Amino acid sequence: MRLALLLALVAACSSAETDKTEPLVDSGTAVVDTGVAESSTDTGTFDVEPMLDTGMCVPTESVETKCNARDDDCNGAIDDVDVGKDGICDCLGVLILGAPGSNTASAFEAWLKAKGTTTKRRLDSAGGPLVAADLTGVDVVILDRLSRDYDAAEVLALHNWVKAGGGLIAMTGYDHSGADATRPNKILEALGAKYDTTIRPSAPITDWDLTHPIGKDMSSVTFAGGYAVTPVAGFKTAVVARSSGNPVAVAVDVSMGRVFAWGDEWIEYDSEWSTLPTVPKLWANIFGWVVQRRCGVKIF
C-alpha cells in the first residue's frame, strides 16, 4: 500500500514539472521599455517627459515680453523683446571696453540702459586679460578708448565671438596719437575694417548711403578730427558714410556676426546727445543692424 502511494506521488510531480513554463534564455536581444502599460487593468500613471526636439515650436506668447533665451512667440527670433517699440532689443547684453573719451558721455550709457539693455564697462586696466568667459551673455561689444594693446589670445576670443554671432562697434579719434587707431586696428583688421591715420576728416558727416540700414534717415552728424575707415579686401563690406569722398563708416558681415567701425568718438558725448537728434538715431540704426540676426527686432 505504501509503495503504491509513493509511486502515485512521483508520477504527479513529474507531470507538474512537464507543465511548468521555463524562464526565457537571454537571446542577446534587448527588451525596450516603451513606457506603455501592458495591461488595461494597470491603474498606474506615467510622468510624461517633454519632447526635447520635435521640430515644432509651441508658442507661449503672441508677442515676446520676457528675456528668457526662448522663442516664446515662435517667430524664429529668440528674445526679440521690444516693449517700447524703439527698435532696440530689451534683452541685449552690452560690454563697453575701455574708458570714455575726454568729454562727458553719461547720456549715451544712460540711453543704453533705458532701452532695457544690461550695459557694463570693462576698463582695460581692470579684471586681467579678456577671455571668452567675459563674453558669455554679451550681444554687443563697443570698443571705446582703449588704453593698451590687446594680446593675440584676447583678439582671438573677440574674433571667435563675432564669428559666432556677436555685434562689434568701434569708435576712435580720442587723442590723435595714432595709438587710438592702431589699438582697435589689432582687433578690427582681421574682421574687415581698419582706421587710416593718414586721413583726418574734421567736418560734419552729411554724405550717407541712405539705402543701408545704418544710413537710413540720416542727415548731419558731428565728426571732429577722427580717422578715415578703410574696408579690408576679401570681406563683405559696405561704406555707410563718407567725408570728402573718404569712408568714415564701414559695416562688415563676418560669418554669423557683424562689425561697424566709425572713425570718430563725438557720437558718445553729452554735448552732441543734447543738441543733435541724429546722434541717438544713428546709434539706434547701428544697434538695429549689428544685432538683427541675433535678436530679430527690425527698425527698417
pLDDT tens string 88-119: 677 788 999 999 999 999 999 999 888 878 89
Cβ atoms of residues 210 and 192 within 8 Å = no
Going by the DSSP 8-state scheme, the letter that residue 210 receives in this structure is T
> What integer is the mean pLDDT of 54-80?
78
Q: What angle do CA 142, 146, 148 make, to 5 degrees?
A: 140
| Residue 178 CB burial class (10 angstroms; 0-12, 13-18, ≥19) | exposed
> What integer is the mean pLDDT of 140-167?
96
**Which residues on neighbouring strands pair with residue 142, listed in sequence order?**
96, 169
Q: Can you list the domains of the chain with their CATH numbers? A: 56-85 (no CATH), 93-295 (3.40.50.880)
Q: Which of 136-140, 154-158, 166-170, 188-192 has the lowest mean pLDDT?
A: 136-140
Cβ atoms of residues 165 and 294 within 8 Å = yes
User: Closest Cα to residue 122, out of 149, 103, 141?
Assistant: 141
16 has pLDDT over 60: no
Cβ atoms of residues 182 and 155 within 8 Å = no
Q: Residue 171 is which amino acid?
A: M
User: Closest Cα to residue 225, out of 115, 66, 101?
Assistant: 101
Whole-Å CA distances, 225 to 127, 181, 205, 214: 31, 12, 12, 22
Cβ atoms of residues 192 and 231 within 8 Å = yes
**Residue-averaged pLDDT of the chain:** 81
Measured between alpha carbons, how far is 287 from 299 in angstroms, rounded to an integer? 10
Of 26 and 300, more confident: 26
Segment holding 160, helix H or strand E: helix 152-163
Q: Which of 7-11, 30-34, 277-281 has the lowest mean pLDDT?
A: 30-34
246 has pLDDT over 90: yes
DSSP E strands in the chain: the ranges are: 93-97, 118-122, 140-143, 167-170, 193-196, 207-208, 228-231, 236-243, 246-254, 257-262
- With cut-offs at 50, 70 and 90, classify the pLDDT of residue 296: low
46 has pLDDT over 70: no
Please give the backbone phi and psi of residue 271, each rounded to the nearest 5 degrees, phi first: -60, -35
40 has pLDDT over 80: no
> What integer is the mean pLDDT of 23-31?
41
Tell me the three cell numbers of residue 249: 563708416
User: Closest Cα to residue 101, out of 264, 300, 219, 293?
Assistant: 264
Predicted confidence at residue 55, as pLDDT, reads 63
- With cut-offs at 50, 70 and 90, classify the pLDDT of residue 196: very high
Of 300 and 128, more confident: 128
Neighbours of 45 (CB within 10 A): 7
135 has pLDDT over 90: yes
Whether this prediction's pTM lies above 0.85 is answered by no
User: Closest Cα to residue 174, out of 99, 106, 273?
Assistant: 99
42 has pLDDT over 90: no
- With cut-offs at 50, 70 and 90, classify the pLDDT of residue 22: very low
